[in-house]
Amino acid sequence: MKWHFFPFFSAFLALTFAPGLASVHAAGETALDTATIETITGLKGVSNQAEGTFKVSKPRNDVAITVEQVRMAPFMGLTSWATFAPGMKDRVMVMGDMVLFEDEVNPVMSVALDKGLEVTALHNHFFFDEPKVYFMHIGGDAPVDKLSAGVRAIFDKVKEIRAANPLPAKSFGSSALPEKSSIDGAVVSQVFGQKGGCE
């Protein structure tokens, strides 16, 4: 699995959130097919006419989250979202922020990359959160149906993981290390031609 970075990300940030974007769209930009976005993602969206964008979102209300033992509501920074903006010709752009638990990060990153989306950041917002919450930034530049399908695949993967295990896992599930090492120090020393030891 590779990390991908795309050059238009900074420009997209500036364009997507610049005031008056709708009045400065370049000739040749495609109009947003909001009905297709909603149908494929399965989420109702909100248009921002001033910015020329369309945003779908989904709150993480499936698992109780606390920060410093205080219960956090989804509107307090725990809502996944994806914002679509017009692109050139038959393409659109998308960027988003996915709210994930530790056992969702690897599977979601894989499905995002497999669907042609970019993963541009992974970080946390909180200290002493339970369970641990991570935020994965996504982006892309493609036909609207492809980007919408990628966003939908992320939400479907999260739903699949939580359906199998309602509570986030606390480890990768690896077996515990044995009390006694099975490494033969004498063999290792012979291979390297020098005496080794434990420090």
pLDDT category of residue 20 using cuts at 50, 70 and 90: very low
pLDDT in tens, 46-65: 999 999 999 999 999 999 99
Q: What is the DSSP letter of 184?
A: -
pLDDT category of residue 28 using cuts at 50, 70 and 90: low
> Per the domain annotation, does 195 fall within a domain?
no
For residue 109, give its domain range: 9-174
> Per the domain annotation, does 187 fall within a domain?
no
pLDDT category of residue 29 using cuts at 50, 70 and 90: low
- Would you state the pLDDT for residue 185? 82
> Per the domain annotation, does 180 fall within a domain?
no
Residue 86 has pLDDT above 70, yes or no: yes
Residue 84 has pLDDT above 60, yes or no: yes
> Per the domain annotation, does 199 fall within a domain?
no
Q: Supply the mean pLDDT for the chain.
A: 87
Please give the average per-residue pLDDT across 74-92, as a whole number: 95
Q: Which residue is listed with tokens 């238009």?
A: 8
State both tokens at 71.
């219960």
> Per the domain annotation, does 3 fall within a domain?
no
Residue 3 has pLDDT above 70, yes or no: no
- Would you state the pLDDT for residue 182? 82
pTM, to two decimals = 0.76
CATH number at residue 137: 3.30.1460
- Would you state the pLDDT for residue 92? 97
Query: What is the spatial distance between Cα 174 and Cα 167, in angstroms, rounded to a whole number?
Result: 18
> Per the domain annotation, does 66 fall within a domain?
yes
> Per the domain annotation, does 1 fall within a domain?
no
Query: What is the spatial distance between Cα 22 and Cα 146, in angstroms, rounded to a whole number?
Result: 23
Q: Residue 135 in contact with residue 78, Cβ under 8 Å?
A: no
Establish whether the linkage from the previous residue to 131 is cis, with ω within 30° of 0: yes
pLDDT in tens, 132-187: 999 999 999 999 999 999 999 999 999 999 999 999 998 888 777 788 888 888 88
Q: Does an H or E element contain 96, and which?
A: strand 92-101
Residue 8 has pLDDT above 50, yes or no: no
**Structurally, how many domains does the chain consist of?**
1
- Would you state the pLDDT for residue 30? 65
> Per the domain annotation, does 87 fall within a domain?
yes
pLDDT in tens, 99-146: 999 999 999 999 999 999 999 999 999 999 999 999 999 999 999 999
